[in-house]
Amino acid sequence: MSDDERITKVFFDPGHYTVLENVGQWTATVVRRGGNLDHVVLVDYKSEDGTASGDQDYVSMAGTIAFPPGETSRSLIVEVIDDDVFEEDEHHYLRLNNPRFASAAQGAEVQLGSPYLATAIVLDDDHC
């Protein structure tokens, strides 16, 4: 069995996002590639502060994404908090970790691919 048939990789596609502060919500895409699509794949995610602060500039989030059999793409909805205060453009991150199969998958493996850390740049829309 080749690595393409045995190893499933989970990652962001794309790994960089740029949104306006007044966007409300935006969507990050997580994909899985390779391996046997008959298995349920799970991967944890969480947001992390950069220059943007969770629950002040964006809504903090954490959880688990499940890829049902045959599914190769899942979406994360990220909320941006719009304010009327001028500030520099800011960024925050979304991180994937702990990829795994929901049940034993003999001879198969799941791992993080690159990028497993997505960067979100939030462009300020307020004037100084």
Structurally, how many domains does the chain consist of?
A: 1
Residue 128 in any domain: the answer is no
Residue 57 in any domain: the answer is yes
Q: Cα 80 to the chain's mean position, in Å?
A: 15
| DSSP label of 70 | T
Give the predicted TM-score (pTM) of the model: 0.90
When computed from its CA atoms, the radius of gyration of the chain, rounded to whole angstroms, is 17
CA 79, CA 71: separation in Å to the nearest integer? 24
CATH code for position 46 = 2.60.40.2030
pLDDT at 13: 98
Containing domain of residue 33, as a range? 3-123
Q: 54-75 pLDDT, tens per residue?
A: 999 999 999 999 999 999 999 9
CA 33, CA 12: separation in Å to the nearest integer? 11
**Coil, helix or strand for 7?**
strand
* Mean pLDDT, contiguous 10-residue spans, the chain (128 residues): 77 96 94 92 98 94 97 97 82 97 84 98 78
